[in-house]
């Protein structure tokens, strides 16, 4: 009887807040279809997947695909490149986004800061195909604007896009340029939440801009920074397929090939969906452990953890 009355109570609550439940249904359906159902298909990572036999009917292979990946000739290089780009982007893009957000917040010319903000997040909406065209115009060794300047000063043109030393910097910096403004939005939102009386008190105490940033702004947005870093760690093995795929060429494969581009060539183009799934699973598990581990560390040292 008690259970029935609880159920009835729940139904009454659902009915009363039906608009909220309807809203909840959209992400719920999304997660069911695109996140949970695919977990079932993830078993092909352990199978010799044959489309006609289907997911259930295909033969079990055990850890064969994982072994293929780990034993692949370029495994170490792929992992190194992937981590290099992921951490590189984290180390460069995140501080730049924070600096941009603080600069915009601190600016006392609202119209100028709006223009800067708009210009900063516009590149986010450009595809990497367009970005490649822009980078070619800027960096091409023959007639790129940058090389024109180098030549003007008597220097030798640099093959930025096909040089193994320059290429990683191009990837990291172009990503920072493209995404800096967009990433700054979350920090700007966090800055908006700081109690203005803190700044007023600091002004009364005679704090200069740098001191305000150091002692008020940065500590106030630290929880957001921690959460953003934690979330980024979860996708640490996603180094940006679209960007690398557009920018890379054979001369720079040694520093450009990442796990995702390898999966594209080896898994999708060669019809090895089991292998591609195994690598996806591998990335997901690493990401999960990184999130769990770093979250625990942050918790232990008294920071604001994700959960």
Determine, following the binding rule CB under 8 A, whether residue 271 of this chain makes contact with another protein: yes
Q: Quick one: 2 or 269, whose CB is closer to another protein?
A: 269
- Supply the minimum distance, in Å, between the C-beta of residue 172 and another protein: 18
Buried b / exposed e over 105-140, threshold 16 CB at 10 Å, is beeeeeeebeebbeebbebeeeebeebbeebeebbb
Residues near another protein (CB under 8 A), total: 34
What's the per-residue H, E or C state across 73-99? CCHHHHHHHHHHHHHHHHHHHHHHHHH
Q: Which of residues 173-192 bind another protein (CB under 8 A)?
A: none
Q: Which of residues 273-302 bind another protein (CB under 8 A)?
A: 273
Q: Which of residues 62-121 bind another protein (CB under 8 A)?
A: 72-74
Sketch the per residue contact string, 212 through 241, with another protein: x for CB under 8 A, - otherwise.
Answer: ------------------------------
Determine, following the binding rule CB under 8 A, whether residue 257 of this chain makes contact with another protein: yes
Determine, following the binding rule CB under 8 A, whether residue 169 of this chain makes contact with another protein: no
| Nearest-angstrom CA–CA distance, 41 and 34 | 11
Position among 6, 114, 265, 299 found at the interface with another protein (CB under 8 A) = 265
| Nearest-angstrom CA–CA distance, 46 and 59 | 9
| Nearest-angstrom CA–CA distance, 230 and 294 | 7
Determine, following the binding rule CB under 8 A, whether residue 43 of this chain makes contact with another protein: no
| Nearest-angstrom CA–CA distance, 74 and 80 | 10
Position among 43, 103, 163, 305 found at the interface with another protein (CB under 8 A) = 163
Q: In 10 A of CB 89, how many CB atoms?
A: 20
| Nearest-angstrom CA–CA distance, 125 and 159 | 27
Give the binding site for another protein (CB under 8 A).
49-52, 54, 72-74, 132, 136, 140-143, 157, 159, 161-164, 249-251, 253-254, 257, 262, 265-266, 268-271, 273
């Amino acid at each position: 009887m008690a259970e029935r009355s609880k159920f009835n109570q729940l139904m009454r609550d659902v009915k009363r807040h039906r608009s909220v439940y309807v809203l909840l249904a959209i992400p719920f359906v999304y997660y069911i279809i695109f996140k949970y159902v695919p977990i079932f298909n993830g078993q092909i990572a352990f199978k010799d997947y044959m489309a006609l036999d289907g997911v259930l009917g295909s033969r079990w292979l055990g850890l064969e695909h994982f072994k293929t990946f780990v034993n692949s000739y370029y495994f170490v290089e792929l992992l190194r490149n992937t981590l290099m780009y992921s951490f590189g982007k984290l180390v460069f893009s995140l501080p730049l986004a924070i600096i941009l957000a603080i600069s915009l917040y601190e600016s006392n010319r609202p119209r100028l800061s709006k223009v800067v903000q708009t210009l900063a997040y516009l590149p986010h909406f450009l595809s990497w195909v367009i970005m490649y065209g822009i980078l070619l115009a800027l960096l091409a060794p023959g007639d790129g604007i940058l090389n024109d300047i180098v030549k003007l000063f008597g220097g030798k043109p640099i093959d930025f896009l096909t040089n193994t030393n320059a290429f990683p910097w191009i990837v990291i910096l172009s990503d920072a340029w493209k995404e800096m403004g967009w990433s700054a939005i979350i920090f700007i939102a966090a800055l908006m939440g700081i109690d203005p009386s803190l700044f007023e008190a600091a002004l009364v105490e005679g704090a200069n801009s740098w001191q305000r940033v150091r002692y008020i702004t940065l500590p106030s947005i630290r929880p957001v920074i921690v959460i953003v870093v934690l979330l980024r760690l979860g996708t640490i093995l996603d180094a940006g397929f679209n960007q690398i795929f557009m920018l890379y060429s054979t001369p720079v494969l040694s520093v450009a090939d990442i796990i995702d581009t390898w999966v594209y060539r080896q898994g999708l183009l060669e019809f090895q969906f089991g292998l591609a799934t195994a690598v996806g699973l591998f990335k997901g598990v690493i990401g999960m452990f990184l999130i769990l581990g770093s979250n625990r560390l942050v918790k232990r040292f008294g920071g604001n953890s994700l959960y």
